[in-house]
Structure 1
Amino acid sequence: MISHGFCCGCAGSSARTPRAKTFAEQVDGLTRRWSRVSDGLRQMLTTVGLALAGRAGARLAAQLGMPASRHRLIRLVRALPDPPVGVVAVLGVDDFAVRRGHHYGTVLIDCESRRVVDLLPGRDADPLTAWLQQHPGAQVICRDRASAYAEAARNGAPQAVQVADRFHLWQNLAAAIERCVAQHKSCLQEPVEVPAERYGAAAEAAESAGAMAERRRAHHALVHELLAQGAGFRQIARHLGWSHHTVSRYAHAATWQEMMVGQKIRPSQVDPFKTYLIQRIGEGCLKAATLHREVRAQGFAGSYAIIRKFVEQYRSTPDLTAVRRPPSVRQVTGWICRRPDDLADRDSVQLQAILQRCPQLRAATDLVRSFADMLTRLRGERLDAWIAAAEAAALPGVTKFATGLTADLAAVTAGLSMPFSSGPVEGNVNRIKMIKRQMYGRAGFDLLRKRVLLAP
């Protein structure tokens, strides 16, 4: 600070009061005109605001001896200029949720340097098209299979090669495989060995009736076999992964043919006597013959077998290890989409048994593994042959996925041939989610954009 004083009076005029004028010269990097803080303090507060936003930043600044309100920190962040974009040769594009289900945005990434170059409001084609026209030079655009981004790339950068992201391709194929496995869910259950002398005639009728009858016959035999061991309805439902209603229907059906005509479950003859039976069982009486005599004296008209089945639910827990619970659709989908070498021995054995029972799932597994070979070894020239094989297989879900690839064939082929991917984009989308949650979802798009672009 340099001060100069001078007198503005006439020479020899001592009667007048001298007037003084003081002025200051700014020091670069230290002071600025009309500022109440130094540039160093301003930079420190701005860095705190970028890293922690308003409330958390204000708490940290107070602890560091630089008290500042959250509003001041946010003003400092908003006042920062945008970083220069430059020429982006390999551009990554993806959407992110500003408010999930309501508002979305588009994030643009320089895939070579892995930095965010801009955030655009919405996930439509127009904002991205305008940005590409204002920033020419993109040679490769990595994107998902959204039609809006494909249209924007064609209109805004027609010279760029569009690359469909391999992660999204694999994710879409896994969803198709899950639909295929769900359509063949009956193949996941191991076949039940039923004695021929017990169900001889029924087995012959089932074979002539088709796969549905065979499945109903096997399930009916399985439920009644577990009931004979003393298992209750809820135990069987948990063990087999069925609903309680399904187990109850099979249990109340005297023959498997009743399950084919869709008969409704009739009220049990035990219902009027349940209170008395539960009371006697609580007193320690688990002998079905005794209880049957007692309830017959009260007017029960049913058979001894009905009382025995009711009492068996309250006896010791049976051994259900003989009947293995079938794997879920999601489990089998994971086994099919995983590397065979990464599967545990038990899972590999179960998968092989399922594939032997179901030729359709075996064909789907072969298609998945051939697609995985294309994806990992970048052999996109095989895509046309793979699509033809998938369409010829006529598998639910998989065929529709293969047909959908033809609508974006050039980008998918490039994604399976070129080394570029949207990996850096996905990583930055996760970073955007962290920054958004740090501001409790209440920040405007402009503040979120500043922090994403400038935060260290």
Structure 2
Amino acid sequence: MRGCFDTRLLPEGLRATEHSVDGAVLTIDAEVLAAEVICPGCGQGSTRRHGRYVRHLTDFPAHGRSVQVRLSVRRFRCVASHCPTITFSESVPDCLACRHGRRTGRFQNLVAYLGRAMGGRPAQALGRRMRIGVSKDTFLRSAATGARTMEFEPRVIGIDDWAWRKGQRYGTLICDLERRAVIDLLPDREPATVAAWLRQHPQIEVVARDRNGGYRQAISEALPDATQVADRWHLLQNASDAFLAAVRRAMPAIRRTACSAALDPGILTAAERLQFEGFQRRQQTNVMIQRMGSEGVPIKRIVRITGLSRGLIRRVLRGEREDVFRLRQSSLTPWFPLLEQHWHDGCRNGAELWRRLRSHGFRGGLRVVGEWATRQRRAEAAIAHGSGKCPPSRKVARMMASGRYHLSKTDSIFVAQVEHALPQLAQDRRLLDAFTSMVRNGDEDELAAWLDQAKASGLAAFARGLSADLDAVAAALREPWSNGQTEGQINRLKMLKRQMYGAAGIDLLLARLQHSA
């Protein structure tokens, strides 16, 4: 089928001469709109036509049909006798079709865009539905050649390493912190490679990095006047690791403290002391009531002796007031004996306990059973005080760093005992709190005094490391820049690597990272 054709549907710079439709393929004959043809050898124009050849280009699909452009390219003879170029072809701009390309420029841009945005197989699946007959390998090749060049020279950058293969091979990612964009990927993290890249960009003024010694060396060599900024998140992480190491060194003494059943009320806060004294009074009362019950004393007489209510006496005799955390009356009270039986049989899951009660006729909800199971677990952990059980070092460090006012009563008492028995570890914890506050508030003036105190504590190794990188640490407390953006881009890079099953090269990774929707 032949007929009229709207030339506006073709890429700008082409003129349609004829078209035909054959099933699902629309074929368009076209030629280049060129006012003058210039010889590439001598630069003179020529009108002596020598011949022509046809280039077959794929364009955007239209109305459910694939579009093939048969581009007629003319050849000319050079009119200059001294020119070494005898014949030449009229030039086709890259925006129309790249050299030796089989797709129009705008269609090639679409293929590259889909490859960068989606990857190979997803782009191929979408292209099949859009009648874009391009293979996954072509999508990836087009994406890899589409990496953007820098439009602006970066002034503030972040630099960090990323793993080609964790523990074996690493690369380097460089991010423009002002424009929040990836600038480049380097194939390794060697100081020489990083220094060579930095020398090509002498306008850089600020470099945010972690405390990697190799990057520090490369920046000092290539850009000695640039300000190096240590990453604040890594500073806090390193401080926490240093405190954890101090706790691990003190674990023998902490275990001896946990084995001690004696508790000095003088080390507790006022609120903790009131709670602990109330717990002790309840325990003494419970023991007295249970002893009288075992001797056969009637409940009515126990009520007169103790002054407690009949219901409370019954709950104590049934063993319903033995946990540290006090219970409230609820629909679950008649089911306590069955619950305790299942609990002692090893069932510790609240949902499973609720299902077992439902099979016996319990009509209450799951939440009340779950709360009972939670109280039982907390009570068992609290009653274990003085039994020789000690939490692992990581949990001890987390409890001490959290602050006693944010802990349960049992954990708060344990932390109070540890700090009373190990004053040096308590001092280390106070130094950790001071450093955390200093980093979060950007208080550079307190850094020197903190380092002097820390050098005589369990955080001495950490303090020596900060002193060796003092300028970058001080800049981290003073400057607004940090490496958070770079860490986020590395997280994105890892996602893209997993999407491509780790088989992507550095050019393809960079192109997909630089792609923006």
Structure 1 residue 400 displacement after superposition: 0.9
Structure 2's unaligned 5+ residue stretches are 1-14, 18-29, 32-49, 54-71, 75-91, 263-379
Q: Secondary structure at the match of 1:119?
A: strand
The superposition leaves residues 399-420 of structure 1 with CA deviations (integer Å, 9 ceiling, x where unpaired) of 1111121111111111122221
Counterpart of 2:238, as a letter, is N
In structure 2, distance between residues paired with 1:430 and 1:143: 16
SS of the aligned residue for 1:127 comes to helix
> Which residue in the other structure is 1:193 paired with?
261
SS in 1 for 2:203: coil
Q: Residue by residue, what CA displacement relative to the aligned partner does 1:33-83 show, whole Å, maximum 9, x if unpaired?
A: 754333333222212211222223222322332131111111111222532
Secondary structure at the aligned position of 1:84 is classed as: coil
- Show the counterpart of 2:455: 391
Q: Secondary structure at the match of 2:132?
A: coil
Q: How far is 1:86 from its partner?
A: 2.4
Deviations 1:99-132 (A, max 9, x none): 1122111111111121111111111111111111
Deviation at 1:441, TM superposition (A): 0.8
Aligned to 1:392, the other structure's residue is in SS state coil
Distance 1:352 1:112, change over 3 A: farther
| Cα distance in 1, alignment partners of residues 158 and 96 from structure 2 | 40
Cα distance change of structure 1 residues 402 and 49 upon mapping to structure 2, 3 Å threshold? same
- Give the secondary-structure state (helix, strand or coil) at the position aligned to 1:190: helix
Quote the residue 1:143 is aligned against: 209
**Letter aligned with residue 110 of structure 1:** D
Across the aligned residues of Structure 1 and Structure 2, the Cα RMSD in angstroms comes to 2.9
Taking the TM superposition and a 5 Å limit, the aligned residue runs for 1:368-447 are 368-393=432-457, 395=458, 398-447=459-508
Corresponding residue for residue 96 of structure 1: 162
Query: 1:141 & 1:96 partners in 2: Cα distance?
Result: 17
Q: Which moved more, 1:91-100 or 1:336-345?
A: 336-345
Contact 1:83–1:454 under 8 Å retained in 2: no
- Corresponding residue of 1:366: 430
* Alignment match, 2:120: 54
The structure richer in helix per residue is: 1
- Which of 114, 118, 131 is equivalent to 1:65? 131
Provide the rounded CA distance (Å) in 2 between the counterparts of 1:362 and 1:145.
Answer: 27
Find the aligned partners of 1:454 and 1:445 in 2 and give their Cα distance: 14
| In 1: Cα distance, 2:207 partner to 2:138 partner | 39
Query: Could you tell me the percent identity over the aligned residues?
Result: 33
- Checking the alignment, whether the CA contact within 8 Å between 2:382 and 2:410 is kept in structure 1 is no
Pick aligned residue for 1:82 from 148, 151, 156: 148
Between the two proteins, the alignment pairs up a number of residues equal to 316
Tell me: higher relative CO, structure 1 or 2? Use CA pairs within 8 A at least 6 residues apart: 1
Q: Does 2:102 match 1:36?
A: yes
Match of 2:197 among 116, 127, 131: 131
Relative distance call for 1:375 and 1:340 in structure 2 (3 A) is farther
Alignment correspondent of 2:421? 357
Residues 381 and 413, structure 1, Cα contact 8 Å, conserved in 2:
no
Q: Please, which runs of 5 or more residues in structure 1 have no aligned partner? A: 6-18, 195-318
User: Is the strand fraction higher in 1 or 2?
Assistant: 2
- Equivalent-residue separation in structure 2 for 1:172 and 1:139 (angstroms): 26
Structure 2 CA distance for aligned equivalents of residues 134 and 190 of structure 1: 60
CA 1:323–1:378 in 2, change beyond 3 Å: closer, same or farther? same
Inter-partner Cα distance in structure 2 for 1:140 and 1:423: 15
Report what 2:383 is aligned to.
Answer: 322
User: Match for residue 263 of structure 1?
Assistant: none
Q: CA 1:47–1:340 in 2, change beyond 3 Å: closer, same or farther?
A: farther
Q: 1:154 aligns with which of 198, 220, 236?
A: 220
Query: SS of the residue aligned with 1:65?
Result: coil
